[in-house]
Amino acid sequence: MPAWIWALSWLGASLGFALVSGVLLLLITLAAAYPKLPDISAMTDYRPKQPLRIFTQDEVLIGEFGEEKRQFVPFAKIPKTMKQAVLAAEDANFYEHGGVDYRGLLRSVVTNVLTAQKAQGGSTISMQVARNIYLSAEKTYTRKIYEILLTYKLEHLLSKDQILEVYLNQIFLGNRAFGFAAASLTYFGKPLNKLTLAETAMLAGIPKAPSAYNPFRNPKRAKARQQYVIDRMLANGFITEKQAQEAKAQVLNFRSRNARNTNNVHGEYVAEMARLQVSEQFGDLTYTHGINVYTTLIAKEQEAAHRALQAGLLAYESRQPYRGPEAVIALPADKDERDQAIDEALNDAMDHSEVLAGVVVSVGKGVAKAITLDGEEVSLSAEDSPLAAQALAPRKSGQPLLKPGALVRLIPDAGNKLSLTQLPVVQGAVVGMNPRNGYVTALVGGFDYSQNKFNNATQAWRQPGSSFKPFVYSAALEKGLTPATVVNDAPISFTASQTGSDAWEPKNYDGTFDGPMTVRQAMAKSKNLVSVRVLQLAGPAFAQNWVSRFGFEPAKHPPYLTMALGAGSVTPLQMATGYAVFANGGSLIPPRFIQKISDTSGKVLYRPPVLDPDAIEQVIPYRNAFVISSLLNEVTHTGTAASAHRTLDRDDIYGKTGTTNDSVDAWFVGYHPNRVAAVWVGHSKPKNLGSRETGGGLSLPIWTQYMQTVLRDQPVLGYAVPPGLQQVNGDWVYSELGSKGSVKSLGLDSNPSR
């Protein structure tokens, strides 16, 4: 036998032996590995971790809590286009192979051998499901063997549709989003069934490398991947050439990467309130079992309250001195490094709703140019606003406050032109409530939740000032006071024993005294001296007990004459609840902010008791509430809140301004028969807001802007005259008092303290 034939025979035998040995070794490995595979029987009833979700009563998502953002969608409800896009991008032969694509796997092995790297590759959708749920992410051949075995086990247990359903709900897609339904909300702020083909293809391109193809972090690479997915969909016959071209040309509008909720409804403060309540009730299940909380908020009202408060606080800031940029960053000379430094600064700064962050890139005489996160160049002129004029005016050093690298805040005007502003250091709160059932329809606890998580609506105990006067007048009505009672607006003083503190000589806000006037006139003009005399009539102890009927804590309202000017402590939520008693005709209905709690199947886990009309507590007489409403209606027509009537142009609004001593707290609380709203503005650490800042100038515009939205579709309503009242000289008097029995005057003869 020739030597070369012998050599070939020997080589063939050796290769055969090696092949048989390799196969035997593989079989032994598989036999040893198979019993160690995890139990996957639970996959027949797939229940992924799902976060706690908080919604408005009209089912708009306002909060989500959990390690993983996930929204499980059954296979039948996942749009066909979404399924096709994923198949085109990840595994076009998914329905043909048995779980493992050997050709793709072989290509991956060859590539790994040639490159001497253990790169990921060759994985079908079934293999990805097996790996993502049951195996680690390490890149070893042993783990690959386990993955293959587990895939066969999975394919034997589940149908193809079931496997694809798990994949579409389980796969990680960046930004803590797991599954395509969650990713749709994360990146586009809308559900899967509302996505366009272009948006669907963008999402389908992410699983290959969630970091590399994240449209927030790498928009260019994400766009290129999207184009590839569209091409694959066309090649597989899922879409037409025309559809492909239209999808490639579509400009995508992404949800703000700083957004915390969908549809621009800023309900973070209520979402946190709901989270705390659910956590106390359900413990460890809160963040994994897909609990859904439906609050009493109404989406359009919540957003209106948020916008109104931000607008009011920013308007206040526009009247303050410019404090300078929030920071100054170094701007490298290299363009790419410079752009990266700007992007990092703007990402760290975050936008706050319509208040955008910007970095100044150049400063000239009276003009500066700034860049926003989306790359827009903004020109800031000293002529645009008082703040810009201050910021660009030369100082003693000869240089303005603004310089290249300055981090500034920008806000659009009515024409959408951006101008300079600054984040408020002042805070505020808005509470909207339905007085008929206690539902909190809007609640904003501060300028921006991401800036300050302290909930001023429920946690800030502040002096209510003159906004507390209606409760004192309500008490005095039961002691014979009438709207026509004449009271002397004249100086008065008290000893320390009378006030419970220091000697006191109260003043009116404007420092003047108007002499004798009716209670109706005094309420409209918010006369402090009249209010003190009204409280003297009621008696401080009686008034303290009376105000508790409205939900106020007696201990926070000591029985002294200072109560007449709102020297106690309240929260905005308490004030809304108290005014609701007047609005609904005398009943105290505790505020409620949760309608129901359910699981993912819709099963109700908790629902507050239904409000029984027969069990509602009537805490003050209807006629008392009617008379106070009559007085508060006068305030909005001719008094300190007359601008509300001019702006809203309706006769069925009622309310009272409030400004505390030294203008520390500014209030307006008012109502329509179907809605109550309380607005408070002040510093977190109490201090003067400014000598000319009042409840009428600060809080009332916020209330009015909010109510413009709330009352847009509301009919004009009035209150029916209750029994037990009669008109005397054009005003309301308790019937048993008549024209002779009413208190005719207070404080006209002498100073009661002397």
Is 750 an active-site residue?
Answer: no
Cα torsion at 27, 28, 34, 37 (round to 10°)?
-120
The counts of H helices and E strands in the chain are 25, 25
Q: Which of 379, 545, 519, 352 is nearest to 446 (CA)?
A: 352
DSSP string, 448-463: -TTT----HHHH--B-
Residues with Cβ within 8 Å of residue 265, at least 6 apart in sequence:
56, 60, 62, 297, 299, 302, 303, 306
Question: For residue 750, what pLDDT is reported?
Answer: 44
- Cα–Cα distances (Å) from 415 to 28, 157, 223, 411, in that order, read 74, 61, 31, 11
* Catalytic residue selected from 123, 184, 385, 466: 466
Question: For residue 262, what pLDDT is reported?
Answer: 43
Q: Please state the φ and ψ torsions of residue 729, each to the nearest 5 degrees.
A: 55, 40
Is 59 an active-site residue?
Answer: no
- Cα–Cα distances (Å) from 179 to 168, 187, 264, 692, in that order, read 5, 12, 22, 54
Q: Residue 735 carries which DSSP code?
A: T
- Cα–Cα distances (Å) from 319 to 82, 356, 421, 689, 690, in that order, read 51, 19, 10, 11, 10
Residues with Cβ within 8 Å of residue 11, at least 6 apart in sequence:
none
Q: Please state the φ and ψ torsions of residue 539, each to the nearest 5 degrees.
A: 90, 125
What angle, 0 to 180 degrees and rounded to 10, lies between the N-to-C axes of helices 141-157 and 3-33?
60
The tokens for 539 are 């008696």
Question: For residue 147, what pLDDT is reported?
Answer: 73
CA distance 202 to 615: 56
Q: Residue 644 carries which DSSP code?
A: H
Question: For residue 290, what pLDDT is reported?
Answer: 85
Report how far Cα 5 is from the mean position of its chain's Cα atoms: 82
What angle, 0 to 180 degrees and rounded to 10, lies between the N-to-C axes of helices 80-90 and 219-235?
100
The tokens for 268 are 């973070």
DSSP string, 657-691: EEE-GGG-EEEEEEEETTEEEEEEEE-SS-----T
Q: Which of 682, 639, 279 is nearest to 464 (CA)?
A: 682
Cα torsion at 113, 116, 117, 119 (round to 10°)?
-20
H helices within 296-423, ranges in order? Answer: 299-318, 335-349, 386-392
pLDDT one-digit tens code per residue, 207-241:
988 888 888 878 888 999 999 999 999 999 999 99
pLDDT one-digit tens code per residue, 308-338:
999 999 999 999 999 999 999 999 999 888 8
**In the chain, which residues have pLDDT < 50?**
23, 26-27, 113-120, 136, 258-263, 750-754
With contact defined as beta carbons under 8 Å apart, do 660 and 278 qualify? no
